[in-house]
C-alpha cells in the first residue's frame, strides 16, 4: 500500500466520523426542537416560585422524566387555547387535600376522577386552578416543566 493510499484512507475515515457526528448532532437538535419548548410565566399565580416573565423549559416528552407526580409543575392548555402553569397536588383516584376544598371539590366527592389531575397555583390567593375549574383532564396537559427556577414551596 502506498503512502497516497494510506493518506486517502485516513481522510475518508475522518470524513466518515465527521458525517456521523454531524448526523447525531442533527438528530439531537431535531429531538430537542420537537420535544422541548420555552414557556413564559404570565401573571402572579405561581409566585413566589415563578414570577411573571420567567422563562421555563417544558417538555412534551415528559415520560422521559417520569410520569406526572404530585409536586410536578405542568403546563395545561385550556379549550380556549390559553396556557396555565400549575402544580399537581392530587392524582387520579386520590383524595384532594382539604386545604384545597371548595364547593366544586365537594361536588366532585373530594376525589380526583380517573384520567384527571388536581392542580393549584403556588400563590393560591391569585390563582385560577382546579379549585374553580375542577379536575383537569390529562389530555389538557401539554407538558411538564423540567427546567427553570423554583422548588416546591
Asked if residue 81 belongs to a domain, the reply is yes
Three-state DSSP class for 121?
A: coil
Asked if residue 138 belongs to a domain, the reply is yes
Cis peptide before 48 (omega within 30 of 0): yes
DSSP structure class, residue 145: E
CATH number at residue 142: 2.10.109.10
Count of Cβ atoms closer than 10 Å to residue 133 Cβ:
16
Asked if residue 119 belongs to a domain, the reply is yes
Return the pLDDT at 153.
Answer: 38
- Active-site residue identified among 2, 18, 42, 45: 45
Continuous segment of H or E residues that includes residue 18: helix 3-35
Is 51 among the residues known to form the active site?
no
Return the pLDDT at 4.
Answer: 73
45-51-52 Cα angle (round to 5)? 80
State which residues form the domain around 66.
36-147
Grid coordinates given for 95: 383524595
The residue ranges of the chain whose pLDDT is under 70 are: 149-153
Is 45 among the residues known to form the active site?
yes
Asked if residue 4 belongs to a domain, the reply is no
DSSP structure class, residue 117: E
Asked if residue 26 belongs to a domain, the reply is no
Asked if residue 130 belongs to a domain, the reply is yes
Asked if residue 2 belongs to a domain, the reply is no
Return the pLDDT at 77.
Answer: 94
Q: Which of 141, 133, 151, 153 lies closest to 39 in space, CA to CA?
A: 141
Domain count for the chain: 1
Asked if residue 17 belongs to a domain, the reply is no
Return the pLDDT at 95.
Answer: 97
- Active-site residue identified among 2, 18, 70, 86: 86
Grid coordinates given for 104: 366544586
Buried b (16+ CB within 10 A) or exposed e, 43-65: bbbbbebbeeebebebbeebeee
Amino acid at each position: 500500500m502506498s503512502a497516497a493510499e494510506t493518506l486517502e484512507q485516513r481522510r475518508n475515515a475522518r470524513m466518515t466520523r465527521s458525517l456521523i457526528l454531524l448526523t447525531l448532532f442533527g438528530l439531537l437538535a431535531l429531538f430537542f426542537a420537537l420535544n422541548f419548548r420555552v414557556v413564559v410565566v404570565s401573571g402572579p399565580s405561581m409566585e413566589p416560585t415563578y414570577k411573571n416573565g420567567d422563562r421555563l423549559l417544558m417538555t412534551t416528552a415528559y415520560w422521559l422524566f417520569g410520569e406526572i407526580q404530585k409536586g410536578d409543575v405542568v403546563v395545561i392548555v385550556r379549550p380556549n387555547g390559553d396556557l396555565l402553569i400549575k402544580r399537581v397536588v392530587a392524582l387520579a383516584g386520590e383524595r384532594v387535600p382539604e386545604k384545597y376544598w371548595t364547593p366544586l371539590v365537594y361536588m366532585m366527592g373530594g376525589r380526583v376522577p380517573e384520567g384527571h389531575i388536581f392542580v393549584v397555583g403556588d400563590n393560591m390567593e391569585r390563582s385560577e386552578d382546579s379549585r374553580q375549574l375542577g379536575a383537569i383532564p390529562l389530555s389538557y396537559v401539554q407538558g411538564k416543566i423540567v427546567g427553570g427556577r423554583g422548588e416546591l414551596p
